[in-house]
């Protein structure tokens, strides 16, 4: 995706960007991260208990493994 490449470019969103644009960038990244983590959680929840056990995760621990310190 050309758009995704442009959005992730450090030239536009690097640490040197200032003001409102930087705030919007941080919000955008937070939203994208949320949806990526939610998708990962849904994917793990579709696995059966045997597969979860193979990768060392219990079903009750999925949210903690995916969200880590982000989980409320």
pLDDT, tens digit (0-9, with 9 covering 90-100), for 38-64: 999 999 999 999 999 999 999 999 999
φ, ψ of residue 39 to 5 degrees: the values are -65, -40
Cα-Cα end-to-end distance for the chain: 32
Confidence grade of residue 21 (pLDDT, cut at 50, 70, 90): confident
Rg (CA), the chain: 17
pLDDT of the residue at 17? 56
Indicate the length of the chain as a whole number.
72
CA distance 70 to 72: 6
Across residues 9-30, what is the average pLDDT? 73
* Percent share of the chain, pLDDT over 90: 56
φ, ψ of residue 57 to 5 degrees: the values are -125, 135
């Amino acid at each position: 995706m050309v758009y995704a490449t442009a959005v992730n470019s450090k030239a536009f969103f690097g640490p040197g960007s200032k003001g409102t644009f930087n705030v919007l960038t941080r919000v955008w990244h937070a939203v994208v991260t949320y949806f990526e983590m939610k998708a990962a959680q849904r994917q793990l929840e579709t696995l059966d208990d045997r597969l979860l056990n193979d990768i060392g995760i219990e079903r009750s621990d999925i949210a903690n493994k995916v969200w880590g310190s982000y989980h409320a």
